[in-house]
Amino acid sequence: MSRSAPPFAPFEWMIAWRYLRARRAEGGVSTMTWISLIGIALAVFALIATLSVRAGFRAEFVDTILGANAHVTVYSQPHQAEVGGYVRTITDYTEMAERIATVPGVTHAAPLIKGQVMASGNERNSGVEVFGITAEDLADLPRIANPEQSFGDISRFGEGVAIGSGVARELGLSVGDQLRLISPDGVKTAFGTSPRVNAYEITYVFTAGRYDIDRTRVYLPFQEAQSYFNREGTADEIEVMVESPEAVDTMVPAILAAADGDGPPLALAWTWRDASGSFLRALDMEDNVMFVILSVLVLIASMNIVSGLIMLVKNKGRDIGILRTMGLSEGSVLRIFFLCGASTGIIGTIAGVILGCLFTIYIDPIFAVVNWVSGGGVWDPSIRGLYELPAKLQAGDVISAISLSLFLSFVVTIFPARRAARMNPVEALRYE
């Protein structure tokens, strides 16, 4: 064994492997090695599982927003009406929608009527939000036209109404039943305004995947909505879809310019980021906080390597003295014990990655078992908005977990390895 041996020579790997193998007299070292390995594996597993769930939750939340809602809502500033007073309705909604549709990047622009009313059926009542929209425009909404689950025929939308599955469940209604809509802003008479009550056949029931959408939304044919809400000849807003929702803010100026046309600048815009931006920012902040917390967990697990290596160095003091006397360099001793600790970190990281990936891939059956064991009710869609726990395995999250675990494992291994390398061989053999 020469001092000029290359770094990480085969004999260094051989000695490190012999030190890692358990012996009856060194059970404590073996136990600490297993504790370190299991701790790192569980920490990496928790990190990957948490990041995957957070990524899946964000992706599912954004997908349901973009699939059932406008990417940009164009509405009007208050302006003088012909009969006096100020209104915010849009009279040239057809022309405005056509102008907006010509903007590069816009895939869909349609007028919309919106109102909140009381829905009634089977002697039950529930507050709902009514969207007045044409059958063609309804068919362009991905989460409505192609939902997770649906009943009825969307092509018969013009003959009745389309409702969310939550509304149907709350009122005990299904396809073919009659849904009564009750609006306090009805017919104006000499004695005041009387409520308006209309009954419509349910032709389509959808499950968009968001509890708040399925629980409150009702779609009504556009012309019928104009009559029901006293909006004859007007629309409340223009619903706009774009090719790149993530870059919607850059398109707003062009959309507003097209909406105003040659007239005065009355159009205003409200994007999906404006509506859900605070929630998405909260998710980003939570992701960062969770990553930091779980990184500390990985660090704590990695610190077990230090304990194991210190015990190993103490038990192998005689061996270190003999090896140094035979001509082994400090660098070789350092690398031997570095390999001992790093191997534990590498094996633990690999095990954690496998566990984390398997958890993410099979999260549905795993969560079903957890829900069954706990007696149900673990996941409340009315609180979380989604019907199930989503998970999305991303290469970036896995790479981050691997890099963090290996970095910490390698760094904490250096200190006890240096202690072994600097051990005085004379002191190590004095009492042998």
Closest CA to 244 of 52, 105, 111: 105
Give, as one character, the DSSP assignment of residue 313: H
How does pLDDT run across 44-69, given as a tens digit for each residue? 999 999 888 888 888 877 777 777 78
Q: Residue 86: is its pLDDT beyond 90? A: no
Give the contacts of 285 (CB within 8 A, at least 6 positions apart).
none
pLDDT value at residue 253: 92
Contacts by residues 75-79 (CB-CB < 8 Å, ≥ 24 positions apart): 75/236, 75/237, 75/238, 75/267, 75/268, 75/270, 76/266, 76/267, 76/268, 77/266, 77/267, 77/268, 79/266
Q: Can you tell me the mean pLDDT for 188-201?
A: 77
pLDDT value at residue 1: 42
pLDDT value at residue 53: 85
Give, as one character, the DSSP assignment of residue 386: B
Which stretches within 152-247 are classed as H helix? 165-171, 211-216, 222-228
pLDDT value at residue 200: 93
Please count the CA atoms within 13 angstroms of the CA of 98 that sit on its side-chain side. Answer: 4
Asked whether 12 and 342 are in contact (CB, 8 A), the reply is no
End-to-end CA distance of the chain: 23
Flag whether the pTM goes above 0.85: no
pLDDT value at residue 432: 53
Q: Residue 255: is its pLDDT beyond 50? A: yes
Structure-block tokens of residue 217: 């939304």
Q: Can you tell me the mean pLDDT for 358-375?
A: 80
How does pLDDT run across 320-351, given as a tens digit for each residue? 677 666 667 777 777 888 888 888 889 999 99
Q: Residue 314: is its pLDDT beyond 90? A: no
| Distance of alpha carbon 76 from alpha carbon 67, whole angstroms | 24
Q: Residue 391: is its pLDDT beyond 70? A: yes
Asked whether 320 and 333 are in contact (CB, 8 A), the reply is yes
pLDDT value at residue 25: 47
Q: Can you tell me the mean pLDDT for 239-258?
A: 90
Asked whether 100 and 255 are in contact (CB, 8 A), the reply is yes
Q: Residue 387: is its pLDDT beyond 70? A: no
pLDDT value at residue 190: 58
Element (H, E) at 113: strand 106-121
The mean predicted confidence, pLDDT, of the chain is 82
Greater confidence (204 vs 89) lies with 204
Asked whether 140 and 241 are in contact (CB, 8 A), the reply is yes
Greater confidence (58 vs 314) lies with 58
Helices and strands (H, E) in the chain, number of each type: 16, 12
pLDDT value at residue 2: 44
| Distance of alpha carbon 151 from alpha carbon 211, whole angstroms | 17
pLDDT value at residue 132: 93
How does pLDDT run across 139-186, given as a tens digit for each residue? 888 888 888 788 999 989 989 999 999 999 999 999 999 999 998 876
Which stretches within 327-394 are classed as H helix? 330-361, 363-373, 381-384
User: How sure is the predictor about 427, in pLDDT bands with cuts at 50, 70 and 90?
Assistant: low
pLDDT value at residue 146: 86
SS3 call for 15:
helix
How does pLDDT run across 7-53, given as a tens digit for each residue? 767 777 777 777 766 554 444 556 777 888 888 999 999 999 988 88
User: How sure is the predictor about 424, in pLDDT bands with cuts at 50, 70 and 90?
Assistant: low
How does pLDDT run across 294-309, given as a tens digit for each residue? 888 888 888 888 877 7
CB-based burial label for 278 (10 Å; 0-12, 13-18, 19+): exposed
Please count the CA atoms within 13 angstroms of the CA of 422 that sit on its side-chain side. Answer: 6
Give, as one character, the DSSP assignment of residue 6: P
Q: Residue 105: is its pLDDT beyond 80? A: yes
Q: Residue 379: is its pLDDT beyond 80? A: no
pLDDT value at residue 239: 92
Structure-block tokens of residue 347: 């094996």
Give the contacts of 70 (CB within 8 A, at least 6 positions apart).
112, 239, 240, 241, 272
Greater confidence (9 vs 190) lies with 9
